A and B are shown apart, each in its own frame.
Chain A
């Protein structure tokens, strides 16, 4: 069982490396659409290095004046939560309605709430 898993792991690392040689790494692109707003995830693209990723992002994602600032980060540097762990990660929050600030009576004069 353990051997099997190691085998599988080795195989996937090798094929990933092979793939990397043929194709460029993947980058995640974040764009700030105007000053004062936060950078938001816009999508991803391929590029050989960070500088080219920035240029590609400019051409792919901001050619219709969508942004004033771009961040790129190589996708492999993102640590993502595992969907298999969703039970322990997110479900405990589902029955804790008291964590939402909905138990206050709002005076009528307060607007935009």
Chain B
């Protein structure tokens, strides 16, 4: 396993947090209520904070003289390895919550496994992030229950979001060749090992929310290989605007 293997592996983890963090931060000042606005913005900051630890580590591993900012803001679309789920738009609050819950449950299980990595950096990041992600999972899960088992309108919107986003869940468990190399070395995580548990958990919560489980067997994938949906370019142009317009700018 080379440093490049490790760097690519980190992109596969950290880009999820970066892009989802960016997506939720779009809600800053636009949340449905003041309280949910602050809650979502807190989560965006948690996710962004996690990416800093990962990208600082990438900068350390890289043979080039780069910083965490270069890694976060100056890559091209194909170089981002996040799953398609996290780049999906904030269609309405139901989409936001369902996207969050589908990711949070995965994220939690992933970090639990990453805690046992042979890599001390991964162990430390996982340990710190787990407390934040446990809260995210509880927040999004509790909301999903209230939307699903709420009014007729909230139920209909939640069901629509579940149906539309379900096709992006399978990709999270897809192991790329690089993932396999890093997992085999004891640094990475075999995501297939908790796939059944994942579907059992979200199925139980959807049932509790009185929502139907989609029956589709067709799933979207591509993000882990850098092939993104049409939304990704817009996210990046927003996110990268400052660094590209004013290169090397600092706060």
Contact = CB atoms under 8 A, between A and B. Distances in A.
| Mutual binders A and B | yes
Interface string B34-75: 111011001000000000000000000000000000000000
B139 to A, nearest CB: 6
A31 to B, nearest CB: 15
A47 B35 contact: yes
Contacts of B197: none
Nearest to B42: A59
A10 B54 CA distance: 60
Q: Which of B35, B36, B39 has its CB near the most chain A CB atoms (within 10 A)?
A: B35
Interface stretch (A12-20, A49-57, A88-96, A99-107): A49-57
Contacts of B139: 55
Task: Assign chain B's interface to a size class.
Answer: 10 to 19
A68 interface: no
A52 B36 CA distance: 10
Q: Which of B38, B42, B138 has its CB near the most chain A CB atoms (within 10 A)?
A: B38
Contact of B33 (A46, A51, A63): A46
B50 to A, nearest CB: 17
Interface residues of A, number: 13
B93 to A, nearest CB: 13
A56 B38 CA distance: 8
A48 B38 contact: no
Interface string B129-147: 0000000001100110010
A55 B35 CA distance: 9
A47 B143 CA distance: 11
Nearest to B143: A52
A55 B142 contact: yes
Nearest to A53: B35
Contact of B42 (A49, A52, A63): A63
Interface string A17-51: 00000001000000000000000000001111101
Given A51-B142, A52-B146, A55-B142, A45 B35 contact: yes
A60 B142 contact: no
A59 B35 contact: yes
B146 A60 contact: no
A63 B38 contact: yes
B35 A56 contact: yes
A24 B33 contact: yes
Contacts of A47: 35
Nearest to B36: A56
Nearest to B145: A51
Interface string B3-37: 00000000000000000000000000000011110
B122 to A, nearest CB: 26
In the A-B complex, the 4 residue pairs with the smallest Cβ-Cβ separation, listed nearest first, are A56-B35, A59-B39, A59-B38, A59-B42
